[in-house]
Amino acid sequence: MNKLKRTLCCLICAVLMIPCMGAQAFNFTPKRDEDGDGKLEEMTLFSEAVYMEDMNTGEPVIEINADEERSPASLTKIMTAILLLDEFSGDAETMKSTYYSAGSEAFDELYDTGASTADIQPGEEVNCYDLLAALMLPSSCEAANIIALNLSDSINDFCELMNKKAKDLEMNHSHFSNAHGLFTSQNYSSCRDIAKACRYAMTKYPVFAEIVAMPEYTMSPTDFHPEGTDIYNTNLLVSPNYDYYYDTVKGIKTGTLEAAGRCLASCSEQDGITYLTVTMGAPMEKQAAEIAKGEENPGSLYDEDVVYYNLLDHIHLYDWAYSSLVMTDFIDANSELTEAKVAYGDGKDYANLKPKNGFSRLWPSDVKVKDIEKKITVYDNIIAPVKVGDVLGKLELTYKGQKIATIDLVSTTDVERSGVKEKAKIAKSYFGSNVFKITSAIVLVLVSAYIIIHVVIAQKKYLK
């Protein structure tokens, strides 16, 4: 019975503890030397919404309006790509041997909209690998519609599949109403949601990661294009011929729309650390500061007619992350931190506590670990028996009011239950309880009543 009670208690504690275990969403303020004078100041970011995470752990690094529902522009096409990849289980060879085409129904809505294109024509048979490349590199809107119409009976039906997949991926701030992102009505997402889609596609399907990292690609010959079609990646971070080139970036997708601003999803890997970054709402027009920089630096990227602020944000964020963030150990899993009082222990009335696991995470090199606050909480009313590994408390790590992590504290000690102590405690508790007091009072009243009645009866007999 005791074993059953202990098991039930552990299960209840585990359920109660689930929401507060593990690492918390923690926000860093990125800093950089804007003027080259060695003084670090808060970084100026052009994008209105930003989400950056350590892709190895899933821990957020930066969150600025990360859950705000915004037009994702052509980042929508990442979800379209996912449905195509799911259809073929990511098998590149099967995709290369399977051909899709569509008639005017895939093209009519795109005419005179300025939609990005890979010059695919109505009725042109294109293999699915090339359709995926056209979708992700030059951001072909007709490729999006061709994919949609071959995977569903209509664009609306395809959007239902998109929204079902978004729900499966827990993209709680997303809704898709078209396959390409060109139109904004009821087509929205958030930086965090797009990151979920990117993480799914990048980690599950190597063919996706392969394609989005290509600076350029030549599509296979078709009847309409006997020599194939050369297409180029709009994400200039992966293109060595441009000033925006960043050699550790491995994709993923740009998005540009007047209503959305310049958007970008990218990932970067260096020294075993992979960052995933999604930004939305960067300016479309060249700003005054960059106009001045262009005048001061002829031939630089600031001297161009267009400045891609979404790309600049990602460059600055990766520069900061690789130069400032280091993997830092905060908690040693083998360190005994405190002890807990244990009732009814047989020869022992305490248990030593240690962290259930160690804790490490990326941390800015300019922020001292000693500034991290550690709060230990030991649970009340701990009763023997206690086994090694039982959760008896928690450790909270905070920095400037922001919670970094909550870690279970577990017993390193077995404490058996003492039957004698338990009975003595129960007896002591009973004699000091209200039940005992009330029972005693009732007994006293009954005895007193009995004595009084007995005396009255005796007196009556005597008088007779």
Is residue 31 in a domain? no
* pLDDT on residue 430: 54
Q: Are strands 391-399 and 373-378 parallel, antiparallel or unpaired?
A: antiparallel
Residue 260 identity: A
Is residue 423 in a domain? no
- Verify that 273 and 142 share a domain, yes or no: yes
Widest pairwise Cα distance in the chain: 138
* pLDDT on residue 7: 38
Domain end, chosen from 291, 311, 326, is at: 326
Per-residue pLDDT of 399-436, as tens digits, reads: 988 888 999 999 999 999 986 545 545 555 656 667 76
- Verify that 347 and 200 share a domain, yes or no: no
131 Cβ neighbours under 8 A, 6+ residues apart: 84, 100, 120, 143, 146, 147
- Verify that 407 and 449 share a domain, yes or no: no
Tallying the residues shown for the chain, one arrives at 464
Domain end, chosen from 326, 358, 383, is at: 326
**E strand or H helix at 398, and its extent?**
strand 391-399
CATH at residue 66: 3.40.710.10
Is residue 128 in a domain? yes
- Verify that 14 and 147 share a domain, yes or no: no
* pLDDT on residue 25: 58
- Verify that 314 and 342 share a domain, yes or no: no
- Verify that 245 and 352 share a domain, yes or no: no
- Verify that 165 and 196 share a domain, yes or no: yes
CA angle 282, 234, 116 (to 5 degrees): 95
- Structural tokens at position 154: 């209509």
- Verify that 184 and 124 share a domain, yes or no: yes
State the 10-residue block means of pLDDT for the chain, 464 residues long.
Answer: 38 33 64 70 92 93 96 98 98 98 97 96 98 98 98 98 98 98 96 98 98 98 97 98 97 97 98 96 96 94 96 96 91 91 89 94 85 93 94 94 92 84 54 72 81 80 70
Say how many domains are in the chain.
3
* pLDDT on residue 10: 38
CATH at residue 387: 2.60.410.10
Is residue 41 a contact partner of residue 34, using CB atoms and an 8 Å limit? yes
Domain that holds residue 443: 433-464
- Verify that 350 and 321 share a domain, yes or no: no
Domain end, chosen from 291, 326, 361, is at: 326
Q: Nearest CA to 178 among 205, 149, 198, 200?
A: 149
Is residue 425 in a domain? no
Is residue 418 in a domain? no
- Verify that 288 and 392 share a domain, yes or no: no
